[in-house]
């Protein structure tokens, strides 16, 4: 019996004690956590799956999560690499909702890749990343949190990327399998009711402010007349750009202790400024930190 | 007994039956509801409590809810009327978070009104408006919904305006009673963790796109160097502007049947486009409709 205690119970008790210590240690502020996060709590953007979108106002960098939508992500990269988007426009902008771009007039025929293919609204297979839970029921998902740096919802076997600000997704018509070329980025308060209705397959990692300052449409549809559309000068896959011309962007690993503390700190801001703390935060209320490599 | 049935039970049963009919009637889409809402489901903006903020890029109209923060609202209108803000700037802009303006350098002395006064973060008295509940626990409030066209949280006796996009609030320093002149508007995903930490006393009703396209600060604080600050040309109270020069803005009454249907429709979008419906919406996910009087 003493042997069992020393070999099994004592380590378990010590682990519980240590966990209590860690959890009750004074939280750092979100800014401190990001600033002090060690090098190995960050990862580079996946250059094979990162898009550089050149707009008139500046550069927008999007990282894709191809495992969640393999067919659509591969098709999109194929289109990008043949220059399908170069010279097209962002033609629909609804303030506080979305900016949508692509081939508004359906005039350009893909040489390779498809204009429309099967929607991949959710994914039920195994994914090779840890899930960091933020919420056990946010009203839109049985659980929500993060995987591989992307906000994610889960319910049963279904896994999908959330419509948080910066979500990068494929527009479609009425038919579920009618999307492929037209993309949008989420601008404002998370339109989570769109979750599981379209293929969300990436996140804006840099340059959101250039999407926020685009010309808007004049009515609620957000459609822009041709003369006011926002040019897309070029889209490239990062790995196709000479390394010296790429931005050294890094994203915080959402499975890192820094990120877990960030979630707790966002729910219970420790700064003395706060007089009221909700003890709660929604997944879209925890923007994943991005930085230029120091 | 038959008398009681006819006088009391029968009407009750009929009311339940009618309510079932109304609820199960086919929902209209959000766009249809807004477009078809009868005239008496809209109200004019309160000209006594509406601010016209003239920026370089265009006009921003803010409606105040003075009953929720009587001291601060009165002080702010006093400052506006003496021209305190005319020629000052919006000097802090964080993409997807807030745009903050006022007297960055504290160089201008209020002739009347105060620079700092008691914070009114929540209000526990009776308010002369109906509350329309959206959520019975959104993580940040025991219940959240709308009152008089403003998103509101309630918990016990406390009532406060939510930090939804467009919320108009007073910045402060560490001391809770240090706010008065400096204001901010919420730009992006609702930073609800700020609820009950500052005085929120209004909503942007028009011109959010002009706040979205302001110059941003270059670091995470969002502070702008003087040369890049965004001028505030003038702020006026609507009632002080000749009626012919005002915009005929109307806001949907949040106690109207149209708005209640809008909440249900936002949670369960009836359009055939949708393949997945969450049956849930958060209060900030229901923007209060605003229109120009037809």
- The mean predicted confidence, pLDDT, of chain B is 93
Q: In chain B, which residues have their Cβ closer than 8 Å to the Cβ of A277?
A: 193
- Are A162 and A151 a contacting pair, CB within 8 Å? yes
Average pLDDT over residues A48-75: 98
Kindly report the nearest CA distance between residue A48 and chain B, in angstroms. Answer: 27
- pLDDT value at position B21? 47
Long-range contacts of range B151-159, CB-CB < 8 Å, 24 or more positions apart? Answer: B151/B203, B151/B283, B151/B284, B151/B286, B151/B288, B152/B283, B153/B195, B153/B196, B153/B283, B157/B124, B158/B122, B158/B123, B158/B124, B158/B196, B159/B68, B159/B122, B159/B123, B159/B124, B159/B127
CB contact under 8 A, B140 and A31: no
Residue A233 has which token pair? 């000068």
Q: Is B189 on the interface with A (CB under 8 A)?
A: yes
Q: Which residues in chain A (205-224) have CB-CB distances under 8 A to chain B?
A: 208-209, 212-213, 216, 220
B129: left (phi over 0), alpha (psi -120 to 50) or beta: beta
C-alpha dihedral, B20 to B22 to B24 to B30, nearest 10°: -150
Q: How confident is the model at residue A220 (pLDDT cuts 50, 70, 90)?
A: confident
CA separation, residue A241 to residues A202, B30, B163 (Å)? 19, 44, 41
Average pLDDT over residues A230-234: 98
- pLDDT value at position B10? 60
Model pLDDT for residues B45-93, shown as the tens digit of each residue: 999 999 999 999 999 999 999 999 999 999 999 999 999 999 999 999 9
Nearest to A282 among B135, B139, B277 (CB): B139
Residues of chain A with pLDDT > 70, as a percent, come to 91
Q: In chain A, which residues have their Cβ closer than 8 Å to the Cβ of B277?
A: 193
CB contact under 8 A, B281 and A193: yes
CB contact under 8 A, A193 and B121: no
CB contact under 8 A, B165 and A176: no
Q: Is A139 on the interface with B (CB under 8 A)?
A: yes
Rounded CA separation B175/B177 (Å): 5
CB contact under 8 A, A189 and B165: yes
- Whether A281 has a pLDDT exceeding 80, the answer reads yes
- Whether A54 has a pLDDT exceeding 50, the answer reads yes
- The mean predicted confidence, pLDDT, of chain A is 93
Instruction: Return phi, psi of residue B19, to 5°.
Output: -60, -40
Nearest to A278 among B192, B269, B284 (CB): B192
- Whether B8 has a pLDDT exceeding 60, the answer reads no
- pLDDT value at position A137? 87
Residues of chain A with pLDDT > 90, as a percent, come to 89
Q: Is B160 on the interface with A (CB under 8 A)?
A: no
- pLDDT value at position A227? 96
Write down the ipTM of this complex: 0.90
- pLDDT value at position A22? 46
Nearest to B96 among A196, A197, A208 (CB): A208
Model pLDDT for residues A99-110, shown as the tens digit of each residue: 999 999 999 999
* Closest chain A CA to residue B268: A193
Q: In chain A, which residues have their Cβ closer than 8 Å to the Cβ of B272?
A: 174
Q: Is A58 on the interface with B (CB under 8 A)?
A: no
Q: Is A280 on the interface with B (CB under 8 A)?
A: yes
- Whether B20 has a pLDDT exceeding 70, the answer reads no
Q: Is B277 on the interface with A (CB under 8 A)?
A: yes
- Are B263 and B132 a contacting pair, CB within 8 Å? yes
Model pLDDT for residues A10-27, shown as the tens digit of each residue: 655 555 555 444 444 689
Residue B212: enclosing H or E segment and its boundaries? helix B208-212
Model pLDDT for residues A132-189, shown as the tens digit of each residue: 999 998 999 999 999 999 999 999 999 999 999 999 999 999 999 999 999 999 999 9
Instruction: Report the predicted TM-score, pTM, of the whole model to 2 decimal places.
Output: 0.91
Top residue of A35, A212, A265 to mutate, by most chain B CBs within 10 Å, is A212
Q: Is A188 on the interface with B (CB under 8 A)?
A: yes
- pLDDT value at position B87? 97
Q: Which residues in chain B (103-132) have CB-CB distances under 8 A to chain A?
A: 121
Average pLDDT over residues A69-78: 98
- pLDDT value at position B13? 59
* Closest chain A CA to residue B174: A273
Kindly report the nearest CA distance between residue B178 and chain A, in angstroms. Answer: 11
Q: CB pairs below 8 Å between A and B: how many?
A: 109
């Amino acid at each position: 019996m003493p042997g069992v205690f020393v070999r099994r119970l004592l380590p378990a008790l010590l682990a519980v004690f240590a966990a209590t210590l860690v959890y009750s240690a004074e939280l750092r502020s979100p800014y401190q956590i990001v600033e002090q996060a060690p090098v190995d709590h960050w990862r580079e953007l996946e250059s094979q799956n990162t898009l550089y979108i050149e707009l008139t106002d500046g550069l927008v960098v999007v990282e894709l999560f191809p495992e969640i939508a393999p067919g659509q992500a591969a098709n999109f990269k194929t289109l990008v690499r043949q220059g399908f988007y170069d010279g097209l426009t962002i033609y629909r902008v609804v303030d506080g909702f979305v900016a949508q771009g692509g081939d508004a007039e359906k005039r350009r025929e893909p040489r390779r890749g498809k204009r429309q293919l099967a929607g991949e609204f959710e994914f039920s297979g195994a994914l090779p990343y840890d899930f960091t839970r933020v919420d056990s029921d946010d009203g839109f998902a049985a659980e929500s949190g993060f995987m591989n740096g992307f906000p994610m919802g889960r319910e049963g076997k279904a896994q999908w990327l959330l419509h948080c600000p910066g979500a990068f997704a494929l527009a479609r018509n009425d038919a579920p399998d009618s999307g492929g070329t037209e993309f949008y980025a989420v601008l404002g308060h998370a339109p989570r009711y769109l979750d599981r209705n379209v293929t969300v397959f990436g996140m804006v990692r840099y340059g959101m402010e250039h999407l926020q300052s685009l010309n808007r449409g004049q009515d609620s549809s957000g459609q822009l007349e041709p003369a006011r559309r926002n040019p897309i000068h070029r889209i490239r896959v990062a790995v196709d750009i000479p390394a010296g011309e790429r931005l050294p962007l890094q994203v915080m690993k959402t499975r890192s202790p820094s990120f877990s503390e960030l979630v707790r700190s966002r729910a219970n801001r420790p700064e003395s400024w706060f007089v009221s703390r909700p003890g709660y935060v929604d997944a879209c209320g925890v923007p994943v930190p991005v930085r230029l490599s120091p």
